[in-house]
């Protein structure tokens, strides 16, 4: 199984790796590195522990993790295996009957790893040696990030709908309260109304914070995608176009156009998915935060320009017509 996130984590510079060290207090590094495919096999961010089927899934996953770790303990005299054995038993004890904490810990770890990887991707292209595999890993990581952001925006949109429903309910209750005198029973009802109104105001503030967080995630993702996009267009597609001119002089053709096309199609899909998410956030911000709504609209305009640039740069003539030199022609 592919582990694009872990592959990128291993390539992070030491400064960023040091930022991740505290993450591995509960899920030790030796476990994260021993079974990276386990942590990237499940969409942990989608798990809702209020759902019985999800709880069962997590319990089974935890059991599988411990079993897989124990199967790796073949040579217990080996120092690395001794460390793995100790951390495995500690992990089994730490999260026994604590499936919700287990999921939250994994989610937080993967989110922070993703944040560091995306932040580093903003500088993609400055390295000396970049392979095709590096580009493919980057695109896979960006796809993962976009899927996470999509889930975030869907949750935000749902939260807005719930907020509006509660607002309508409070409005009806307010009208009801205006119709009756403030006697003993009505005072209790009014007090409950005031408490619910205060709670709704607090939920709105929390909702706005989550919207800003989601917008920042998308902003970082757009920057990272742009870095990968620019590298593919300039270094790979640009080289192909230049080499195409040399073919007329007898140079052998380059055969990597299909690979470049797949990369560009993947980047286009990522950009389009982000565009849809930005539009969802613009709708979500309506009636909540007009300034943030305008900010996201500007981001959307910039993203559309990025899509236009990708399309225009990849509009090429795949096979040039033969060059014919006319002779004995009068002008």
Q: What is the pLDDT of residue 320?
A: 67
Which pLDDT tens digit goes with each residue over 142-190? 999 999 999 999 999 898 899 999 999 999 888 888 887 767 677 888 8
What is the average pLDDT across 12-31? 92
The pTM assigned to this predicted structure is 0.87
Name the pLDDT band for 313 (thresholds 50, 70, 90). very high
First to last CA, the chain: 66
Of the listed ranges 44-48, 186-190, 322-326, the one predicted with least confidence: 322-326
What is the average pLDDT across 13-27? 92
79-110 per-residue burial string, b: 16 or more CB within 10 A, e: under 16: eebeebbebbeebeeebeeebeebbebbeebb
Sign of CA dihedral 270, 276, 282, 288: negative
Residue 57 in tokens: 């899934």
What domains can you pick out in the chain, each with its CATH number?
5-124 (1.10.532), 132-314 (1.20.1050.20)
* Residue 27 per-residue DSSP state: S
The rounded mean pLDDT for the chain is 88
């Amino acid at each position: 199984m592919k582990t694009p996130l872990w592959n990128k984590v291993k390539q992070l510079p030491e400064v960023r790796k040091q930022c991740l060290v505290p993450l591995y207090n509960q899920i030790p590094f030796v476990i994260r590195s021993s079974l990276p495919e386990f942590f990237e096999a499940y969409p942990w961010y989608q798990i809702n522990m209020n759902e019985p089927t999800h709880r069962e899934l997590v319990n089974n996953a935890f059991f599988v993790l411990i079993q897989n770790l124990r199967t790796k303990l073949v040579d217990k005299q080996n120092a690395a295996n001794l460390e793995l054995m100790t951390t495995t038993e500690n992990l089994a004890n730490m999260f026994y009957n604590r499936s919700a904490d287990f999921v939250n810990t994994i989610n937080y770890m993967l989110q922070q790893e993703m944040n560091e990887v995306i932040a580093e991707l903003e500088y993609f292209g400055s390295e000396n040696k970049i392979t095709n595999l590096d580009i493919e890993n980057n695109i896979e990581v960006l796809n993962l990030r976009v899927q996470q952001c999509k889930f975030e925006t869907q949750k935000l949109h749902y939260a807005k709908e719930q907020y509006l429903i509660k607002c309508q309910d409070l409005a009806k209750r307010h009208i009801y309260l205006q119709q009756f005198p403030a006697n003993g029973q009505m005072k209790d009802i009014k007090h409950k109304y005031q408490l619910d109104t205060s709670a709704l105001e607090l939920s709105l503030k929390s909702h706005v914070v989550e919207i800003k967080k989601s917008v920042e995630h998308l902003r970082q993702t757009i920057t990272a995608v742009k870095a990968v996009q620019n590298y593919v267009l300039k270094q790979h597609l640009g080289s192909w176009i230049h080499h195409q001119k040399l073919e007329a002089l007898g140079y052998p053709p380059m055969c990597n156009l299909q690979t470049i096309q797949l990369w560009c199609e993947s980047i286009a899909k990522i950009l389009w998915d982000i565009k849809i998410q930005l539009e969802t956030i613009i709708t979500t911000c309506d009636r909540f935060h007009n300034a943030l709504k305008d900010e996201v609209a500007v981001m959307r305009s910039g993203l559309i320009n990025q899509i236009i640039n990708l399309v225009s740069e990849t509009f090429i003539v795949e096979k040039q017509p033969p060059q014919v030199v006319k002779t004995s022609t009068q002008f």
